[in-house]
Amino acid sequence: MAENPLFAPSSLPYQLPPFADIREEHYLPAFERGMAEQLAEVDAITGNAEPPTFDNTIAALERSGRLLQRTATAFFSVVASDSTDGVMEIEKRISPELTRHSDAIRLNRALWERIRRVTTEDPEEAWLLEKYRDDFVRAGADLSEEEQARLRELNEELSRLSTEFAQNLLKAANDSALVVEDAKALDGFDEARIASLERDGRYVLPLLNFTNQPGLAQLTDRDVRRRLYTLSVERAPQNFGLAVRMAGLRAERASLLGFPNHAAYRVADQTAKTVEAVEEMLGQLVGPAVRNARKEAEALAEQAGFEIEPWDWSFYAEKVRQARYDFDASAMRPYFELDRVFRDGIFHAATRLYGITFTERPDLRGYHEDVRVFEVFNEDGSALGLFALDPYARPGKRGGAWMNNLVDQSLLFGEKPVVLNNLNITKPAAGPTLLTYDEVTTAFHEFGHALHGLFSEVRFPRVSGTSVPRDFVEYPSQVNEMWATWPEVLANYARHHETGEPMPAELVEKMQAAEKFNQGFMTVEYLAATLLDWAWHKLAPGEEVDDAEAFEQKALEAAQIAFPVVRPRYRTNYFAHIFSGGYSAGYYSYIWSEVLDAESVEWFKENGGLKRENGDHFRRTLLSRGGSLDPLAAFRDFRGREPSIQPLLERRGLV
């Protein structure tokens, strides 16, 4: 394996992983060597005869595991975006090994003793030191030998189950796809969309992550909508059992670590801090959201002429929009061409706000031919990093949209960031890629995460970029959504893909007038998923669940969010965020972050909007700080005061 490209740092610009040279057989040897090297580095730290200092203990830990980090970054990027049967087998094998490796470090008593004895006067070092101490305590460093042995078993089993849950969902995206023999069944889709779905004489519509599939808003055949909806909510049924098992194991682990339940364990190191704080915020939203959704349901039933079912909601919501506001969302698609959205919209807004510029680098490759790489520069021409974009859906790619770092920024290593955005847009069989308005908003959102990574300017990888509490990480990305409809930005990119004509002003006005309609549905759908997550993770240790689907219904009724025509955005069986994606007892973070987002949008509006001084202030006080200080302190530095929920209530029409 001397030729294994993962063994040495990448020679590509910014240390972009050399995906073109990496083969599947390279991963396991690199993982094995990487874990062995890091354990040897930890042994060197604990065997150091010198008294523990920040540099020879904490900074030394930051410097450890470089090969393992390179390998894991490349591998799990492929797992999420371009998986194969071979990659999935490697994932099954390596995930529990990585869990054992992490426990071997976090439960190392000699290492923990050194960390406890470190002192420092430097504020950034002191913050990182406390993060490490908290990490080790939460990982079980203070438990007895017997308790640690049980903790290792729990962690390994949870790792295995999480991988199985994710792989079941990846297979279900295609195995549970809607298949029709006749293109007439897809009436409501345009010709280009139908052509993109053709497979060997049939038409295949794969499932996306969430309950309400986008096609439900366009498909005119009610029975086809029913079939699509049913396939969505009933996919991967084996995951119900996995979820029950995982929730029980997490409850036991929380108890072992001194918490009453997993929710209390997870929220303790977030900005919310307590279960009560989360429940107080959610409680303010449930009643108004359900009332709004009921009014919307009445309007939809009136439009339809019958009591609607869940698979009717999106279709008739569009009909009501057209009737009330003379607005047809599909009329916007010709104005949202993928390249123009990024070049003249997302990149343009970033240039206006922060002075950064983008140059495409076709000489740099990703893990798939669809990946495009851009070099990013500061206004003075200095290099900032790389931005990679993977826009299209395909078999082997998980649903949804996300950002991750391929290289973490850190002054410790002198490394600049390389960030990746993944979307799941249907690739056309021919011609331009036209986006829906929701897809445009998602693209702006994910680029907000990318900016958080690109603007990072911290010393240590542990607190780089988006390495902030889960209930804070969505905040900067949600702020970036505002520029999608900012008049100067929208006018620059929303142009007809054939004529180049700008989107008519009256269409923009109708869109903005129609935006608050269906907010009841959107808020209930989200809150139902949030409270379902919360119910699974407030289970007490030993509390048994015999029927996962019955548990779902009981949990929604107890939270007063049960509304038959609006199911949770994610049901248990496909709730990847909480059972395989790191958001367990954390799905509330989107609405928690939106409180900060709504406040920040108000600040931008009060201060003149798309201005360099505003962007510089946001970058300096918040985006560049990563997790190197208390995130709410960073928010106060930016906003000048504590956050209020009122702007969020007004935005969602809940006042």
More confident residue, 209 or 17: 17
Is the domain spanning 13-142 CATH 1.10.8.60? The answer is no
Q: Residue 380: what pLDDT?
A: 97
In whole angstroms, what separates CA 226 from the centre of its chain? 28
Identify the active-site residue in 91, 252, 296, 446: 446
Q: How confident is the model at residue 547 (pLDDT cuts 50, 70, 90)?
A: very high
Answer yes or no: 446 catalytic.
yes
Say yes or no to pLDDT of 461 above 60. Answer: yes
Q: Which fold has domain 333-514?
A: Neurolysin; domain 3 (1.10.1370)
Q: Residue 2: what pLDDT?
A: 60
Average pLDDT over residues 177-199: 94
DSSP 341: I
Q: Residue 515: what pLDDT?
A: 83
pTM, rounded to two decimals: 0.93
Tokens of 245: 């098992």
Detail the DSSP E strand segments found in 337-487.
357-360, 372-377, 383-392, 402-407, 418-425
Q: Domain extents for the chain? A: 13-142, 177-233, 333-514
- The crossing angle, in degrees rounded to 10, of helices 109-117 and 24-46 is 60
Average pLDDT over residues 220-229: 98
Average pLDDT over residues 391-397: 94
CB–CB of 148/107 below 8 Å? yes
| pLDDT one-digit tens code per residue, 349-359 | 999 999 999 99
Q: Residue 654: what pLDDT?
A: 79
Single-letter amino acid, residue 193: R
| pLDDT one-digit tens code per residue, 250-288 | 999 999 999 999 999 999 999 999 999 999 999 999 999
C-alpha distances in angstroms, 651 versus 21, 246, 327? Answer: 48, 36, 20
Query: Which residues neighbour 417 within 8 Å (Cβ) at sequence distance 6 or greater?
Result: 14, 384, 385, 386, 405, 407, 408, 409, 453, 454, 456, 464, 465
Please name the helix (run of DSSP H) or strand (run of DSSP E) that holds residue 631, with its range, or none.
helix 631-639
CB–CB of 286/527 below 8 Å? yes
C-alpha distances in angstroms, 287 versus 280, 292, 350, 393, 524? Answer: 12, 9, 38, 37, 9
The residues pairing with 420 across neighbouring beta strands, listed in sequence order, are 388, 404
Cα–Cα dist 308/293, whole Å: 13
Query: Which residues neighbour 263 within 8 Å (Cβ) at sequence distance 6 or greater?
Result: 275, 278, 534, 537, 538, 585
Q: How confident is the model at residue 525 (pLDDT cuts 50, 70, 90)?
A: very high
Long-range pairs for 375-379: beta carbons < 8 A, 24 or more residues apart = 375/13, 376/454, 379/354, 379/355
Tokens of 8: 């040495």
